[in-house]
Amino acid sequence: MNVKKVTPLDDRIFVEVLEDTASKTESGIYLPEDADKGKPIFGKVLAVGDNKDMIKVKVGDNVVFQKFSGTEIDYQGKDCLILTSADILAIVDL
């Protein structure tokens, strides 16, 4: 399905998943998906819900969160997730 707009509700955060470089070693060897199981991944916040008391991030922030968190959604050809504020581990500078 082609999603045109996403508006997160409550404490939800809409995040674009940034390229997952964890599955490729420095020497260029690709690891199977289960080899990096549980490693955190990075994303960019695209939208936030309306519960400002629970949400500590803003649109444009780069964040780190655990792999397998949230609900996957294809948005404008990009891999994105809808996460809860508790899924976000940290705001990072990339």
Check which CATH number belongs to the domain holding 69 and give it.
2.30.33.40
Statement: residue 12 has pLDDT above 80: yes
Partner residues linked to 92 by β-bridges: 62
31 domain residue, yes or no: no
Statement: residue 36 has pLDDT above 60: no
Of 26, 43, 49, 29, the C-alpha closest to 80 is 43
Rounded Cα distance between 48 and 60, Å, is 10
- Tell me the average pLDDT of the chain: 86
Give the type of residue at 42: F
Statement: residue 68 has pLDDT above 60: yes
- Note the pLDDT of residue 8: 96
32 domain residue, yes or no: no
| Residue 61 banded pLDDT, cuts 50, 70, 90 | very high
- Note the pLDDT of residue 27: 76
Of 52, 93, 70, the C-alpha closest to 16 is 70
Residue 46 phi, psi dihedral angles, 5° rounding: -100, -30
For residues 56 and 69, is the Cβ–Cβ distance under 8 A? Answer: no
25 domain residue, yes or no: no
27 domain residue, yes or no: no
- Note the pLDDT of residue 34: 60
